[in-house]
């Protein structure tokens, strides 16, 4: 008698018409993301991989795959473009890597709203939306490659959050179409808060097929670098710009010294030892922006109009958010980073305190945004000179002790990355409904490892 086929062999045989990837090297590469930013995660997640990857092209293929995985109890890890930072799309328990990048149709844009399939790249979505006068309200600096489903499943926000807050702010995500992981997969439209129960839980409680986002009106954004001789002045300038209601902006970042010295591609515009601000303001706001630069004694070392940016295909956005970290790590492999959120109203004081306490070991990179309550504040993706895991934990604790929220980027358990260490009841209820066999990205949620609470 023949031994029963391995479930993966059964899957590839029964669904032979799907686009399977079984080559070990390719599956290994697809199974990893940018978790190597963290020396802790790099050690913990090295070698973790799926048994096979599959790239479905339509809903019927996704449905047949999910149905058979549910019957055979094979884990499924959903992947967009794999640009996540915490091993979000790294399979811990083998199984199938479900690559959504082939499920990428733009569906429609009207009345300030757009809808698309989850695997569409944000760059392509923007290209489709521009003729309708629309652009994304907020997006990661990886928008060239990141997918809409990946932004929803793993992202926070980023460029544009200075106007619209994080992606999870009420009104940004309007609805999703999601599939349950069952022998008979159910396809359901979730609206508003019900949809947000699947946001930023790393594809652990539902498979998202389509997303509907509220969009922003398109503007011609000019890009600039402003340099300063003093940390305090650079910070005050960014704060003043963030609060200048009449100046339309999309991005305000501060890279404190010595971070600019690490950004080799922009070395011509970043004098050694400077503190720099990277900004995007609407072209009609340029005069008011320049008045503010003069008021704070800054120097505009780089300026490109929207047309020049489009023609050059080079944008300063790819030097902000976690791209800053990437460029700096290319120069100094010993660096890692933090993710922190300052308290609105106390944020400048907190930034200065942390700079006094940890400057030299921790380099300040702040991003100005509106928080979930709509208040202007800043978050930070500080660069850290890594010595030991103990010291890294100590540094994060020093932040917490000073009232700074840490969203720990050195953990792969969803709860551990949250400041309160918990998942809301609605997230768990959604898990029970959409993934009753606990097959989605298993091992990432502690609550479910203990047994799904009823
Ligand atoms: C250089 C750099 C800069 C970055 N800047 C930012 C930033 O500014 N802001 C920010 O928020 N993030 C940032 N990130 C993180 C990441 O790029 C974004 O979160 C991005 O949106 C992820 O998209 P992706 O398609 O690569 O998702 P992936 O990494 O493939 O997936 C992310 C998570 O979403 C889940 N997922 C993907 N598709 C689906 C789906 N259809 N249904 C259910 N779950 C799904 C996956 O399982 C995974 O857990 C950055 C990362 C890097 C490396």
- How does pLDDT run across 409-418, given as a tens digit for each residue? 999 999 998 8
**Among 64, 58, 63, 50, which Cα is nearest to 21's?**
50
Task: Over range 204-212, report the average pLDDT.
Answer: 98
**Residues within 6 Å of ligand 1 by CB:** 33-34, 77-85, 88-89, 100, 118, 140-142, 146-147, 149-151, 153-158, 202-203, 207-208, 321-323, 326, 441
**Looking at ligand 1, which atom is closest to the CA of residue 202?**
49
In this prediction, residue 258 carries a pLDDT of 98
pLDDT per residue as tens digits for the range 416-454 = 988 888 899 999 999 999 999 999 999 999 887 666 555
pLDDT for 222 beyond 80 = yes
pLDDT, average across residues 48-67:
98
Task: Give the pLDDT confidence score for residue 5 in this predicted structure.
Answer: 75
The confidence score (pLDDT) of residue 1 equals 52
Pocket perturbation via mutation, ligand 1, pick of 75, 103, 146 by most ligand atoms within 8 A of CB: 146
Q: What is the mean pLDDT of residues 353-381?
A: 98
Q: Are 301 and 376 within one domain? A: yes
How many Å separate Cα 119 from the centre of its chain?
A: 15
Q: Any residues with CB less than 8 A from the CB of 29 and at least 6 apart, and which?
A: none
Mean pLDDT of 171-180: 98
Q: Are 342 and 377 in contact (CB under 8 A)?
A: yes
Structural domain includes residue 3: no
Residue 400 falls within a domain, yes or no? yes
Residue 149 lies in a domain: yes
Considering the domain boundaries, does residue 264 fall inside one?
A: yes
User: How far does the centroid of ligand 1 lie from the alpha carbon of residue 32, in Å?
Assistant: 12
Total domains in the chain come to 2
Tell me which of 217, 248, 277 is where a domain ends.
217
How many angstroms does the Cα of residue 201 sit away from the middle of ligand 1?
A: 11
Residue ending a domain, among 217, 249, 265, is 217
- Whether residue 234 contacts residue 276, with contact meaning beta carbons closer than 8 Å, is answered with yes
**pLDDT tens figures, 260-279:** 999 999 999 999 999 999 99
In terms of domains, do 110 and 170 share one?
Answer: yes
Percent of the chain residues topping a pLDDT of 90: 95
Residue 92 lies in a domain: no
Within a domain: 254: yes
Does a structural domain hold residue 430?
no
pLDDT value for 346 = 98
Q: How far apart are CA 112 and CA 127, in angstroms?
A: 15
Q: Which domain holds residue 382?
A: 221-406
Q: Tell me, yes or no, whether 311 and 353 share the same domain.
A: yes
Kindly state whether residues 378 and 252 are assigned to the same domain: yes
pLDDT of residue 81: 98
Q: Which residue puts its alpha carbon closest to atom 18 of ligand 1?
A: 155
Using the 3D structure, point to which of 217, 240, 262 is the last residue of a domain: 217
Answer yes or no: is 124 within a domain.
yes
Give the residue, out of 155, 208, 323, 330, with the most ligand 1 atoms within 8 A of its beta carbon, to mutate for a pocket test. 155
Interval between CA 80 and ligand 1 midpoint (Å) = 7
């Amino acid at each position: 008698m023949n031994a029963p086929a391995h479930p993966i062999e059964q899957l590839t045989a029964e669904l032979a018409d799907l686009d399977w990837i079984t080559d070990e090297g390719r599956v290994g590469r697809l199974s990893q993301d940018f978790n190597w930013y963290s020396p802790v995660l790099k050690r913990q997640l090295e070698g973790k991989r799926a048994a096979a990857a599959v790239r479905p092209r339509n809903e019927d293929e996704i449905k047949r795959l999910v149905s058979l995985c549910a019957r055979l109890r094979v884990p499924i890890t959903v992947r967009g473009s794999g640009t996540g930072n915490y091993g979000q799309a790294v399979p811990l328990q083998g199984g199938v890597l479900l690559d959504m990048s082939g499920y990428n149709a733009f569906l429609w844009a009207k009345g300030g709203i757009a809808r698309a399939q989850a695997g569409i790249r944000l760059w392509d979505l923007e290209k489709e939306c521009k003729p309708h006068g629309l652009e994304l309200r907020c997006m990661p600096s990886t928008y060239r490659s990141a997918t809409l489903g990946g932004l929803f499943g793993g992202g926070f926000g980023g460029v544009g959050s200075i106007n619209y807050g994080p992606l999870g702010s009420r009104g940004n995500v309007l609805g999703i179409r999601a599939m349950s992981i069952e022998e008979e997969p159910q396809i359901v439209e979730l609206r508003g808060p019900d949809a947000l129960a699947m946001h930023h839980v790393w594809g652990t409680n539902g498979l998202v097929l389509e997303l509907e986002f509220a969009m922003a009106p398109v503007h011609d954004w000019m890009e600039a670098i402003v340099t300063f001789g003093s940390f305090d002045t650079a910070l005050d300038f960014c704060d003043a710009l963030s609060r200048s209601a009449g100046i339309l902006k999309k991005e305000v970042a501060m890279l404190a010294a010595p971070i600019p010295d690490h950004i080799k591609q922009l070395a011509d515009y970043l004098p050694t030892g400077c503190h720099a601000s990277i900004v995007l303001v609407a072209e009609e706001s340029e005069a008011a922006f320049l008045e503010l630069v003069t008021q704070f004694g800054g120097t505009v070392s780089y300026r490109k109009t929207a047309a020049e940016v489009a023609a050059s295909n080079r944008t300063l956005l790819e030097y902000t958010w976690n791209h800053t970290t990437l460029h700096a790590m290319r120069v100094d492999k010993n660096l890692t980073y933090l993710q922190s959120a300052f308290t609105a109203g106390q944020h400048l004081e907190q930034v200065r305190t942390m700079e006094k306490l940890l400057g030299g070991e921790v380099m300040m990179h702040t991003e100005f945004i509106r928080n979930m309550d709509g208040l202007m504040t800043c978050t930070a993706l500080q660069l850290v000179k890594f010595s030991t895991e103990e010291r890294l934990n100590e540094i994060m604790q020093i932040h917490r002790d000073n009232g700074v929220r840490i969203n720990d980027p050195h953990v792969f358990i969803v709860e551990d990355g949250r400041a309160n260490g918990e998942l809301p009841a609605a997230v768990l209820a959604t898990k029970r409904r959409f993934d009753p066999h606990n097959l989605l990205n298993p091992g990432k949620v502690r609550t479910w490892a203990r047994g799904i609470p009823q």
